[in-house]
Amino acid sequence: MALIVKKFGGSSVATPEKIMAVAKRVLQEKNPDDKIVVVVSAMGDTTDELVGLAAAITDKTSGREMDMLLATGEQVSIALLAMAFAELGQPAVSMTGFQAGIATNETFNKAKITGITPDKVWQELNAGKIVVIAGFQGLTETGEITTLGRGGSDTTAVAIAAGLKADHCEIYTDVDGIYSSDPRVVATARRMKEITYNEMLEMARLGAGVMHPRSVELGKHYDMPIHVRSTFTCDSGTFIREEYTMEEKEFVIRGVTHDANVAKIAVLGVPDRPGMAYKIFSALAEANIDVDMIVQSVRALDKHIIDVVFTISQGDVPQAGSILEKLNAEMNFSGLTIEEQVAKVSVIGAGMLGNPGIAAATFGALADAGINIEVISTSEISISCLVAADKAKEAVNAIHNRFFPV
């Protein structure tokens, strides 16, 4: 007997036909005594359509009413999927977030799950039913309907799996697992059998789009293995878990990512006095602007002057620009440049720590390809290089080929 939570996203349940296909898919792999929970998102474009209705009425929607509105999307999907199971002869029952015992805090639009009380879920599982649960939603202590925001349905699935102490949680997507790099960029990218929570989080942070970090963090917290796999095939995908099993250890590097949503800011000629860097970065932090790669260098010829280079998301450029202009008026920089024609290329691998050759191999791969590195930053399990935007794909391929020789 296995207890498995399976999550299907909006595109997998976009039409009644696709909903029926999901039901068949689930039954195809179900052993007679398996206990199965299915978490689903809203059908296809439903959420956009609901947002459109609200936009036709007001442009200042309250979080509460928006959640009341959006939560209907998943409620439609769960009812239809439960009907599909019944049509196929499989007893099933749908549950809204509150029926499944998903408690959240009161932060409408991006509520956080505060607890799972899956009594009703257990009751129905023990009665031999498949339980179909609405993703993306919950209920506050005071009985308000909330939605979880980005990555919400994956988060629901992992949270329910943790609450039920399931064997693992399966996330069905339109790709068949986690790849060593984006297959659209690197033709030889390999599907990983396994990857650790930390590596997955680092990959997501550095530009890999398959999994939202939120659900991975929850999986890590509860040590709930997450199986990322294809909606369309029965092949095994990638398991995200705490540690590899033996056979996956051959590759120290687990992924090569790139992120084009980067802008490089150079603040030149800052007097080298205590608190100058603090002044710049605290002003940006106050405006909620995330600063990523930071390099501070003292000038060789004038040791009292420093240059500061860092990166931010391109969306933050206008606001950061005006903050820095204000500081410039006060601190009188010798130069201030903002450049968006850059991209961040990263290698990720938990085994990197005990392997000092990784950084050298990365830089060597880029050098051999004739690609200039503008900024470098490292974490415990990643190395990132800022390169010219038009060299990004070439850089990813060069690094990937070095670590995953064909």
Q: Which residues bind its own copies (CB under 8 A)?
A: 16-17, 19-20, 50, 53-54, 56-58, 60-62, 64-66, 68-69, 71-72, 75-76, 78-80, 82-84, 86-87, 93-94, 96, 98-99, 120, 143-145
CB of 10 to its own copies, least distance (A): 15
In 58-127, alpha helices (H):
63-87, 119-126
Dihedral pair phi/psi, residue 238, rounded to 5°: -120, 130
The response to whether 173 counts as a known ligand-binding position is yes
CB atoms inside a 10 Å sphere around CB 274: 6
Taking the least distance from each CB to its own copies, the nearer of 86 and 338 is 86
The response to whether 34 counts as a known ligand-binding position is no
Q: At what angle do helices 357-368 and 392-403 cross, to 10 degrees?
A: 130
Taking the least distance from each CB to its own copies, the nearer of 94 and 153 is 94
The response to whether 184 counts as a known ligand-binding position is yes
CB of 79 to its own copies, least distance (A): 4
Burial of 300 (0-12, 13-18, 19+ CB in 10 A): exposed
CB of 122 to its own copies, least distance (A): 14
CB of 143 to its own copies, least distance (A): 6
User: What is the C-alpha to C-alpha distance for residues 158 and 151, in angstroms, rounded to an integer?
Assistant: 11
User: What is the C-alpha to C-alpha distance for residues 163 and 134, in angstroms, rounded to an integer?
Assistant: 15
The response to whether 174 counts as a known ligand-binding position is yes
SS3 call for 368: helix
CB of 78 to its own copies, least distance (A): 7
CB of 170 to its own copies, least distance (A): 23
Taking the least distance from each CB to its own copies, the nearer of 86 and 373 is 86
The response to whether 239 counts as a known ligand-binding position is no
User: What is the C-alpha to C-alpha distance for residues 45 and 66, in angstroms, rounded to an integer?
Assistant: 16
CB of 234 to its own copies, least distance (A): 23
- Asked whether the beta carbons of 381 and 197 are under 8 A apart, the reply is no
Taking the least distance from each CB to its own copies, the nearer of 93 and 280 is 93
CA dihedral of 368, 372, 375, 379, whole degrees rounded to 10: -20
The response to whether 142 counts as a known ligand-binding position is no
The response to whether 237 counts as a known ligand-binding position is no
Q: At what angle do helices 152-164 and 119-126 cross, to 10 degrees?
A: 70
Taking the least distance from each CB to its own copies, the nearer of 19 and 350 is 19
Q: Which helix (H) or strand (E) holds 47?
A: helix 46-57
The response to whether 251 counts as a known ligand-binding position is no
Taking the least distance from each CB to its own copies, the nearer of 121 and 284 is 121
The response to whether 179 counts as a known ligand-binding position is yes
Taking the least distance from each CB to its own copies, the nearer of 57 and 360 is 57
Tokens in use for 304? Answer: 């009292």
To the nearest 5 percent, what fractions of the chain are helix, strand and coil? 40, 25, 35
Q: Which helix (H) or strand (E) holds 198?
A: helix 197-205
Feature table: binding site: 7-10, 47, 74, 173-174, 179, 184
Can you say which residues are annotated as belonging to the binding site for substrate?
Answer: 47, 74
Q: Mark the binding-site residues for ATP, compressed into ranges.
A: 7-10, 173-174, 179, 184
